[in-house]
Amino acid sequence: MQEPRAHWSSSVGLVFAAAGSAIGLGNLWKFPFITFENDGGAFVLVYLLCIAAVGLPIMMAELLIGRRTQKSVVGALREAVGPAWGVVGAWGVLCGFILLSYYTVIAGWSLYYFARTAQWTLTGFPAGLSTGDVFGAQVSSSGLQIALSLAFSTATVAVVYFGVQRGIERIARLFLPILFAILVLMLVSALGMSGSGEALAFIFRPNFAELEPESVLEALGHSFFTLSLGMGAMVTYGSYIAGNQSIVKASAVIVVLDTVIALFATVIMFSVIFSVSGMREQVGASTVGMLFISLPELFYTQVPFGRILGPLFYVLVALAALTSTISLLEVVASYLIDEHDVDRHKATILCGAAIFVFTIFAAISFSGAPFFSTLALFEGKTGWFETADHFVSNWMLPTGGLAITLAAGWFMTREATRGELVDGNEPGWFRYGVWRLFIRWVAPAAVGAIVVAVIFFGRDFS
Ligand code: PHE
């Protein structure tokens, strides 16, 4: 017997949960890094454009499909668009499965770094310690990697186990304000550092001569990842909206929050890094370098109040990651709950355990263990971790996003989408016609360009 569908307690609950899903490692780990790689300014501007012109309309599309059908992604697409569209939903569930399987590994690192930095706060930063060696030692210990990601996966299961209001919403309402407070503290401290002027100029002064065409597609691809679009997370969260809460307002707030947090994080990290001569060159080499190699040491040697902010920073990373992993697990678990009548408790544990099997592969990707670390389905990608991240970011999210845009813009009737977006609760400034223009033409053209670049030109954006 299926229970009556659970709902967010209010539109504020929806905003917290959805913003929690959006704000994650994408904001704290990926965005600063790709901004760095793409020379800042112009890239950031293009990214903001992508968020507004493509991300926001698709966010609204996903939420409205969910609210309209009151079903998680497979059932929702089937009902809103047509029976064949269940396949797109299943693609989303698979994406949630794969994404969660490696996301928890990096999330687990935040736990390790919290412990290490807290230790340095108490004992002082050991003179002569190389944080590069610390990083190398922790990733190459398979046992440690598995233990950390197990801890994180268990926390994720524990939240989703308690359901929409008592689990997901409650945690998001608790964590997001803490996360924001820590970020503001860090921002204040970072802005006082000598590199902050250079950092702000790097991030906000566009230099279009430096912008490569590929950066545009990278910015666009990242807007899917960072807003949790293209795989049904927002459809699923939309399905817990009761009746007449505003989709337009909620989408706008979620998108703005996600963007502000990404920019804050970037300003913080660059202010710290640019304050140390030579650090800029050193950081360039790797995605993980900034967050897990350069920053841990700089907290202790450079940042005002860094002894306190260091461990707090990794708490922030962990909180942000957890509100994202719960949305990923919810996509997978709600499929079993809605479509196969499995009870929530059983579904969460089952899905959590199945996904964890793949997490083990991701966790030991770095340890050089034979087979798993050499598993290379794509050229140049080794191990389950890189393979999965490549597949999700380049193939799954863009194709899923394209399908959802087409569904909302072309396959659902005008009456259906209009009925969801035009009612008494939507703000007066909202123009349905503008949304429709974007969802029918702008978004599909833009996302289509990524898909074409990946499939036909072998581009790699991850
Ligand atoms: N938006 C999350 C982040 O930025 C990642 C995510 C993608 C979460 C898709 C859920 C679904 O880290």
Query: Which tens digits make up the pLDDT trace of 285-321?
Result: 566 678 899 899 999 998 999 999 999 999 999 999 9
**Residues contacting 192, CB < 8 A, separation 6+:** 304
Angstrom distance (rounded) from CA 123 to CA 229: 43
Residue 108: name the closest of 287, 248, 318, 292 by CA. 318
Q: Is the pLDDT of residue 369 over 70?
A: no
Across 212-231, average pLDDT: 93
Tokens 């009548």 label which residue? 341
The greatest distance separating any two alpha carbons of the chain, rounded to the nearest whole angstrom, comes to 67
Q: What pLDDT, in 10s, does the model give residues 115-172?
A: 999 999 999 999 999 999 999 999 999 999 999 999 999 999 999 999 999 999 999 9
Q: Which residue among 21, 30, 263 has the greatest number of ligand 1 atoms within 8 angstroms of its CB, and so is best to mutate?
A: 21
User: Per residue in 48-71, is it b (16+ CB within 10 Å) or e — as a string?
Assistant: ebbbbebbbbbbbbbbbbbbbbbb
Q: How many residues does the chain have?
A: 462
Tokens of 17: 């949960």
Q: CA angle, 382 as apex, 372 and 323 as ends, to 5°?
A: 85
Please give the distance, rounded to the nearest whole angstrom, from the Cα atom of residue 224 to the centre of ligand 1. Answer: 8
Q: Is the pLDDT of residue 380 over 70?
A: no
User: What pTM, to 2 d.p., does this model score?
Assistant: 0.96
What does the pLDDT look like over 47-56, one tens digit per residue?
Answer: 999 999 999 9
| Residue 81 CA to ligand 1 centre (angstroms) | 25
26 CA closest ligand 1 atom index: 4
For residue 210, the CA-to-ligand 1 centroid distance in Å is 28
CA of residue 1 to ligand 1 center, whole Å: 32
**pLDDT cut 70: percent of the chain above it:** 95
> In this predicted structure, what is the pLDDT of residue 368?
65
pLDDT above 90 (res 456): no
Q: Tokens 């990601």 belong to which residue?
A: 149
Nearest CA residue ID for atom 11, ligand 1: 228
Identity of residue 37: E
C-alpha angle 462/258/326, rounded to 5°? 75
395-442: pLDDT as tens digits: 999 999 999 999 999 999 999 999 999 987 889 899 999 999 999 999
**For residue 102, how many other CB atoms are within 10 A of its CB?**
25
What is the residue type of 375? L
pLDDT of the residue at 276: 87
Residue nearest to atom 7 of ligand 1 (CA): 228
> For a pLDDT cut of 90, what percent of the chain falls above it?
80
The mean of the pLDDT values for the chain is 92
Q: Residue 380 — left, alpha, or beta (φ > 0 → left; ψ -120 to 50 → alpha)?
A: left
How far is residue 349's CA from residue 233's CA, in Å, rounded to a whole number?
Answer: 19
For residue 380, what is the DSSP state? T
Tokens 């917290």 identify what position? 16
Residue 26 CA to ligand 1 centre (angstroms): 6
Distance between terminal CA atoms of the chain?
Answer: 43
pLDDT digits (tens, 9 = 90+) for 85-99: 999 999 999 999 999
pLDDT interval class at 213 (50, 70, 90): confident
Which tens digits make up the pLDDT trace of 395-408? 999 999 999 999 99
Query: What pLDDT does residue 382 have?
Result: 66
Cβ(341)–Cβ(310) under 8 Å? no
Is the C-alpha dihedral spanning 63, 66, 70, 71 positive or negative?
Answer: negative
Question: Is 378 a residue whose pLDDT tops 90?
Answer: no
